[in-house]
Amino acid sequence: MLFVFQFFSPTQSYVDYGLLVPTGTYDVVLNTDAKTFGGNELNDDSITHFTNYDALYVNEHKEWLKLYIPARTAMVLKKELNGIFIEKSIQGSLPNILVHLFFCCIYLFVFVLLSIGYINLCTACPF
């Protein structure tokens, strides 16, 4: 599983952002920009992402995965193995655990931003 968070900039999205990952194909499992999560659905989650060859990393069996990452979003991608998704033995509970872990990370990140003063909720309050 590959977890991609883009909370660096609240306004700038990244086009063709490169991640050095193990060679293969990746499919989106969870995307916070999807309509079901109240997002703008700027990515097509039905497509399979292929890694791009780089001669410098042949010995490490790694290539570049280029993604469009909208601002204030996070994605989870799953690597395919010979056209078949890599599955864990705990099929039913693993996705639930990952979703909970994912949102715990988001809440923790927002809490840190609130605690350091990067986000100020009081400016939005009419009181």
Q: How many angstroms separate the Cα of 61 from the Cα of each of 18, 53, 80, 98?
A: 16, 10, 15, 26
- Identify the CA nearest to 105 among candidates 113, 53, 84: 113
pLDDT of residue 62: 94
Least confidently predicted of 30-39, 61-70, 82-91, 105-114? 82-91
Q: Indicate if the pLDDT at residue 3 is higher than 60.
A: yes
pLDDT of residue 98: 65
Query: CA 14, 7, 9 angle in degrees (round to 5)?
Result: 60
Q: Indicate if the pLDDT at residue 96 is higher than 80.
A: no
Q: Indicate if the pLDDT at residue 63 is higher than 90.
A: yes
Q: Express as a percent the part of the chain with pLDDT over 90.
A: 44
Structure pTM? 0.65
Q: Indicate if the pLDDT at residue 124 is higher than 60.
A: no
Quickly state the pLDDT bin for 120 (edges 50, 70, 90): low
Q: Indicate if the pLDDT at residue 90 is higher than 50.
A: no
Q: What is the DSSP string of the chain?
A: -EEEEE-S-SS--EEEEEEEEESSEEEEEEETTSGGGT----S-TTSEEEPB--GGGTTTTEEEEEEEE-TTEEEEEEEEETTEE---S-TTHHHHHHHHHHHHHHHHHHHHHHHTTSS-GGGG---
pLDDT of residue 8: 82
